[in-house]
A and B are shown apart, each in its own frame.
Chain A
Amino acid sequence: MTLPFAMTAPLRIAPLPLIEHATRLVFAQVIQQHPDLFDRLGEHADKRYAFVPTDLPLGFLIEPSVRRISVHRKPHLPSADACMAGTFVLLLALLEGQIDGDAVFFSRSLTITGDMEAMLALRNALDDCNIDLPADIARMSGPFAPLVRRAATEIRTRALSGEAARWN
């Protein structure tokens, strides 16, 4: 599923520090809920991983060794050891292990460049962690947690219905 322009347009004008702040809050929450997320990386923990949603004007850089994520506007993406590119929904589905990375790679829906060993290690680490973004985001929402979780789960179900049916 490619995000429609109307959904991504606000990201073109929203201040980058604001987007990055929100992203870091979610990232911190995921790390807190899955403290062993990067254990499987081994020697690849100090590599830099870029995730580039093809339907967003942004790219994300993850540095596991310092538990940091940064957001960058295209085309000014920093260098990375390994890079994964695909639609935003596809990348989120891979983050949660909802779809099989090899299958979407075979289909050419996903592009991986750079250090394959590092990216493979990260893929396997993510796959084993059972990340549940609606649940993780809901935990940040205080008294609105049940509401946020229901809404986020519904959005995920709708977004993934196409992807999961295609690849799983």
Chain B
Amino acid sequence: MELICPAGTPAAFREAVDAGADAVYCGFRDETNARNFPGLNFSREELKTAIAYARRHKVMTFVAINTFMRAGQEKLWHDAVDDAVRLGADAVILADFGLMAYTAERHPQQRLHVSVQASASNADAVKFLVETFGAKRVVLPRILTIPDIARLARQISCEIEVFVFGGLCVMAEGRCSLSSYATGKSPNMNGVCSPASHVRYREDGSELVSELGDYTINRFPAGEAAGYPTLCKGRFDIAEERGYAFEDPVSLDVMDHIDALREAGVGALKIEGRQRGKAYVAEVVSVMRRAVSADASERPALLSRLRRLSEGQKTTSGAYEKRWR
């Protein structure tokens, strides 16, 4: 199984390659990708250098151009695809059907992957993208169980990639408007979920208070691990209770299920975290590399140390192993 690893900077890219990635995914420094954070991502020149570095180490480079085009501004996204192809990307990861059509028409030889942001979660949707745009791989949304994936794999002809570790989106990806509701910006259109420009952390007595726009997202008591200020992982007062309405501040970790995912037909395991530092990338990729080839009995010990790197310092298997509360 391929290990697909994140890189938000050239330094993180080199760490991912050196730590054993089969492919590294990254994006341009603009709103064409869903990790459009300040100081992050690649210029054209940086991507060119990164691709050359990856090639020398027989590692592939995937370029995420996975936000949705704005009417009248399509050139920004078209240029991103043209440049990714010109610079030698092994695949482009796309979400917008219009951009897929552009890519299939202008660059028919370019390998096209369906981004998780396209939210292609059933056989009809995936078949449409394969037949219409020649998609070679689909990155499945994090809302399917492993049996769901196995059923889907039997009905489609393209490769399957799934997220196995890192930040966990619990909503219908590419459709979620929670961030947009609170800030006017979303990962779908602007490449930012809970944009840093709208985030505030402040101390209130012994509590750490996280705020997004005009909303209080959480209050962390002293000693409790903190999380990202996303609405889907906020702690809210509902009726007589205070708690997590959608999901706790946790990260995804389904490495215990590698064998089941392989049997289900998954060919590539994706690590989330382009916004994380190079130290995170180096540690997670090297541990995952060992875990993929280790016996199932050895994996828990390998993976346990990664929990400290996770949001809320807790992990979950999410929908892959659905257990509704």
B325 within 8 A of A: no
Decide if B39 touches A106 in the complex (CB within 8 Å): no
Decide if A120 touches B277 in the complex (CB within 8 Å): no
In the complex, the number of residue pairs spanning A and B with C-beta atoms less than 8 Å apart equals: 108
B279 within 8 A of A: yes
Interface residues on A, range: 35 or more
B256 within 8 A of A: no
- Give the residue among B10, B200, B225, B308 with the most A Cβ atoms within 10 A: B308
Q: Which 10 A-B pairs have the closest CB atoms?
A: A124-B39, A121-B39, A121-B38, A100-B280, A128-B9, A117-B196, A116-B196, A40-B39, A100-B277, A116-B199
Query: Please, could you name 21 A-B residue pairs with CB atoms under 8 Å apart, sorted by A?
Result: A40-B39, A44-B38, A97-B279, A98-B279, A100-B309, A102-B276, A106-B227, A106-B311, A106-B312, A108-B224, A113-B202, A116-B196, A116-B201, A117-B195, A117-B197, A121-B38, A124-B40, A127-B11, A128-B10, A128-B11, A164-B279
In the bound assembly, the distance between CA atoms of A77 and B226 in angstroms comes to 26
In the bound assembly, the distance between CA atoms of A121 and B250 in angstroms comes to 24
Give the chain A neighbours of B312 by CB distance below 8 A. 106
- Give the residue among B8, B222, B279 with the most A Cβ atoms within 10 A: B279
Main secondary structure of the interface of B (DSSP, over half): mixed
Given contacts A44-B38, A117-B195, contact A101 B277 (CB under 8 A): yes
B110 within 8 A of A: no
The smallest beta-carbon distance between B169 and chain A, in angstroms, is 16
Q: Tell me the A residues contacting B by CB distance below 8 Å.
A: 40-42, 44, 97-103, 105-108, 111-113, 116-118, 120-125, 127-130, 164, 166-168
Instruction: Give the residue of B10, B196, B201, B280 whose beta carbon is less than 8 angstroms from that of A103.
Output: B280
Q: How many B residues, CB 8 Å from partner?
A: 39
In the complex, residue of chain A having the shortest beta-carbon distance to the beta carbon of B311: A106
In the bound assembly, the distance between CA atoms of A40 and B311 in angstroms comes to 25
